[in-house]
Amino acid sequence: MAGRKGLFFIITVLIALVAYTAMFGVTVGTNTIGDVGNTINLGLDIEGGVVVVFEAETELAGTDLDELMTQTIEVISRRVNAMGLTEPNITKQGDKRIRIELPGVSDAQEALAIIGKTAQLEFRLVDDGEYALSGMTTDMFKSSFIVGGESVEKAFTSLDDKGQYGVSLEFDSDGAKAFADGTQEAFVTKNVGTARQIAIVLDGEVISAPIPSTVISDGRAQITGSFTLDEAGLLASLIRGGALPAELNEVQTSVIGPTLGLDALKSSVNAAKIGLALVVLFMIGYYRLPGLVASLALVLYSSIVLLIMVYFNATLTLPGVAGIVLGVGMAVDANVIIFERLKEELKNGKTLRASLDSGFKRALRTIMDANVTTFIAAIVLYNFGEGPIQGFAVTLMIGIITSMFTAIVVTKSMLKSLSDFKGLNNKKFYGA
């Protein structure tokens, strides 16, 4: 009994800690957890930026077209990520179009120049005594050019002799000769029995730097290392798509200014605060003690949703704010259903503890039905929508799962704990 009484205070303290973390953040070592206001990614409609749509000029169709578009998107993604942008959104539109959303970009022409340039894949022999690591740029070590990506005919995932994933390459005749000369030169070092690295460079950045174990003269090579299946597949795709597989034509460009977006965000947040305050006043005034518990659960709900978005680097858009507010409404709706069932049970003469158990049990099916159908709708929106629509769907899905937890688990635990207090087990405190 004493343990159940203390549960209410423990949960209340945890809610306060989670809310504080979301608002102000907690520093652990060199990392800051929370501080949503300064760490959450803002979408294009809030922060402003550039939206550009490219169309591939190709006659391919079917699976060949799908593979070409996938390779093109992967190369563009590397290029855009190298710009240091926050959460760029790159998606395929239709069969031949690619939509690119770049939040925080102020110079549209510079962004388009970077996106539209031809990717450069190179194999470079690292100088004796130098070292190349993945992620380094070519100006960070000395090297000499061996062969370019235009000489690679095939690149595919394979297994080495030890059963580890790697990438197999096949060069054309000219590339095979150049690569053979390069691997031969790799064994010319100061230390007998060793070899120099051959750096695989895409757009000036090292993606792998293996050490050849023998001279490769048959035009075939295998890149091995501590690769997972996905990593090996990605590396093979990047090599195949080193030079953009198709010419891209710009068909649409839109520049969105940040001022309107930020003003709209402030207005939306203020409206959400006012709405939340009115909901809290209504819940406490009408349902009394359960209303107070529901209000604490709403604080926990809002904090958890925002922290989850920060953790997964999700982007907050204006429709996303609407999704969070809608989630608050669904969380309140779940509590209303539960509390109405609770009042019915109390009016039928059951004890408070029995009424709580029966009320939550009767309300659970209704709550599940409503949330599952809404979750399915959110999945459909995410799969078929784009940009801000996907942002709305993401926040709605996160909100649904979180509201189920706060309404069913947290609220129930806190009310059961309060019912153990003699001064708080009077039915009038529960709206009956």
Same domain for 269 and 378?
yes
CB atoms within 10 A of CB 19: 19
Same domain for 141 and 93?
no
Which amino acid is residue 144, in one-letter code?
S
Same domain for 363 and 409?
yes
Q: Highest-confidence range of 113-117, 223-227, 251-255, 396-400, by mean pLDDT? A: 396-400
Asked which of 186, 219, 243 is the last residue of a domain, the reply is 243
Least confidently predicted of 31-45, 176-190, 298-312, 357-371: 31-45
Least confidently predicted of 54-58, 129-133, 426-430: 426-430
Compute the distance between CA of residue 102 and CA of residue 86 in angstroms, rounded to an integer.
8
- pLDDT given for residue 152 in this prediction: 80
Which 8-state DSSP code applies to residue 408?
A: I
Same domain for 72 and 158?
no
Total domains present in the chain: 3
Helix axis angle, 318-347 to 289-311, nearest 10°:
150
Same domain for 228 and 276?
no
* pTM for the whole structure: 0.61
- pLDDT given for residue 141 in this prediction: 92
Mean local confidence (pLDDT), 362-377:
88
pLDDT classification of 314: cutoffs 50, 70, 90: confident
| Residue 226's CATH number | 3.30.1360.200
Give Cβ neighbours of residue 393 (< 8 Å, ≥ 6 apart): 323, 378, 379, 381, 382, 385
| Count helices and strands in the chain by DSSP H and E runs | 13, 15
Asked which of 256, 277, 303 is the last residue of a domain, the reply is 256
Q: Is the dihedral of CA 314, 42, 297, 344 positive or negative?
A: negative
User: Could you report how far apart the first and last alpha carbons of the chain are, in Å?
Assistant: 24
Same domain for 234 and 273?
no
The side-by-side arrangement of strands in the sheet containing 152-159 is 152-159, 165-171, 220-227
| Residue 91's CATH number | 3.30.70.3400
- pLDDT given for residue 379 in this prediction: 92
Compute φ and ψ for 90, nearest 5 degrees. -120, 115
- pLDDT given for residue 124 in this prediction: 92
Same domain for 337 and 406?
yes
pLDDT classification of 309: cutoffs 50, 70, 90: confident
Same domain for 128 and 209?
yes
Residues of the domain holding 414: 2-42+257-430
- pLDDT given for residue 73 in this prediction: 83
Least confidently predicted of 78-87, 148-157, 341-350: 78-87
Same domain for 33 and 151?
no
Same domain for 89 and 109?
yes
Same domain for 226 and 152?
yes
Same domain for 226 and 279?
no
Minimal CA–CA distance to 301: which of 270, 268, 340, 334?
A: 334
Asked which of 256, 288, 320 is the last residue of a domain, the reply is 256
Compute φ and ψ for 168, nearest 5 degrees. -95, 140
Q: What is the pLDDT of residues 266-292, one digit of tens each?
A: 787 788 788 888 888 988 888 888 889
Q: What is the pLDDT of residues 203-253, one digit of tens each?
A: 788 878 888 877 888 888 777 667 788 777 766 766 665 556 667 888 888
| Residue 292's CATH number | 1.20.1640.10
